[in-house]
Amino acid sequence: MQKLAIFREYDIRGIYNEDLTRENVTRIGYLLGLELQKRGGKNLGIGYDARVHSEIIFDWFCQGVFASGAVAYHLGRIPTPVGYFALYSEFKIESQVLKLDGSVMITGSHNPPKYNGFKITLCKEPFFGEEIYALEREFYALDFEEVAQKIPPHIEPQKLNVLDLYVDYLAKEFAHLKGLELPLAIDCGNGIAGVGIGRILERLGIPFKGLFFEPDGNFPNHHPDPSEEKNLQELKNEVAKMGGVGFAFDGDGDRLALIKHTQKGEKVYKGDELAIVFAHTIPNPIVIGEVKCSLNMYESIDKIGQSIMYKTGHSNLKVKLKESGAHMAFEVSGHIFFNDRYFGFDDATYAALRVLELLKQSGLEFDKVLESLPKLYSTDEIKIETCEEKKFVLVEKLKNLLENPASLPKDFPKILKIISIDGVRVIFEQGWGLVRASNTTPVLVTRFEAKSLESLENYQNALLGLLESILKEK
């Protein structure tokens, strides 16, 4: 079998009917069913997002699960966090109570419509990294004819209504928000998040203007990635007209963007800015950030508690959150994890409700703490296309050059420290620059921040120039 590029650091993701064929999907379902049983589990809940092929992939995947001897349960069309929530729920089936041992979300997240994939949690632990690569090796060694013979005929997974449990839980947890009135707009980008947030706000009696709430896997209005400001234009226009705030969700509902109306225009909050705001609401907070987070985030939180810098990636942060006992974790891109009063997984709907809680307590001045921070200048993510085979090699070459001062140009900015926990974050005298390999796409991701525009440009030119010299090597 030709090798596929679907096995990624955090999940399994590829193109429907090219990489994700019936045979390949059934193989994956079979192997994950076996893996769950090795861990002492048997019951696997499976949900899917709004993509046009998600339900087809669901059927193929369930065949593999049943062939393994595990039991597949139908969680329906739900946001990814609802799939995580299913692992903390109890389901009444006749006179018995069922608890799930694992969950799989069939989703392409924020990727273009032709993509799909699997986000996997077994025994409440994210299944990622070396576990996925080990499954990849088993995938190629598997005799599919033997699997096909084990598929039971005409078996349908039993349906479990986890969405109602989720809506009930959050409506109860945030009952104190009932009657909150403020101008509020929400853009679901034709993803799946609207099936949860809409019902919860209606239960709480909180009015809102909904944009693109109808799930449509073709994403006809804009790409469902709220970390790209071009995808927020309609929401920004609505917030400008209404005032107040706006929320934007990604395709599967695990990432959030926040927009607030100000006298200077509509402000978009990055995840690390929200980290500062939330940290100041908790005594002695312990907060995890990733390598792309601002210097202001780390320094501000360290004054009132403890910050921890860690690897980018929702699976990495979930593991670190549990290991460290931290209250929260944040990615710049809008993955937000609450261990404080919640279960520690990334849930954009829950995060939005926590923002509304802040708004009820402090009004539109909920973010006043940000005004006291030093002025910093930063770039958005700058992505450099490469290929899967080269991206990590390129970062390693760059790291080796940076650690050898004699190999650097004479005018290269002074390096104070190199952090290599995830790619290379280079600390300069007036700021920092980051180059890391994306774990989900064949690109290098870079970001820069400094105390002046001049320093920002200097660090960006120096680091990208060094990287360009490596790219030109034969």
Residue closest to 467 by CA, chosen among 441, 443, 450, 449: 443
| Active-site residue (options: 13, 27, 51, 77) | 13
Instruction: Check: CB of residue 323 under 8 Å from CB of residue 309.
Output: no
According to DSSP, residue 412 is labeled P
Instruction: Check: CB of residue 327 under 8 Å from CB of residue 285.
Output: yes
SS3 (DSSP) at 18: coil
SS3 (DSSP) at 62: helix
| Active-site residue (options: 109, 333, 378, 438) | 109
154 has catalytic annotation: no
Which token pair is 89? 């729920």
SS3 (DSSP) at 405: helix
- Pairwise CA distance, residues 302 & 287, whole Å: 9
Within 8 A by CB and 6+ apart from 162, the residues are 45, 47, 75, 76, 78, 82, 83, 85, 86, 89, 91
What is the secondary structure of 62-100 as a DSSP string?
Answer: HHHHHHHT-EEEEEEE--HHHHHHGGG--EEETTEEE--
335 has catalytic annotation: yes
The per-type count for the chain, helices as H runs and strands as E runs, is: 14, 24
| Active-site residue (options: 110, 335, 425, 447) | 335
According to DSSP, residue 467 is labeled H
378 has catalytic annotation: no
- Pairwise CA distance, residues 197 & 269, whole Å: 20
Instruction: Check: CB of residue 311 under 8 Å from CB of residue 283.
Output: no
Please state the separation of Cα 118 from the chain's center in Å: 13
| Residues marked as catalytic | 13, 109, 335
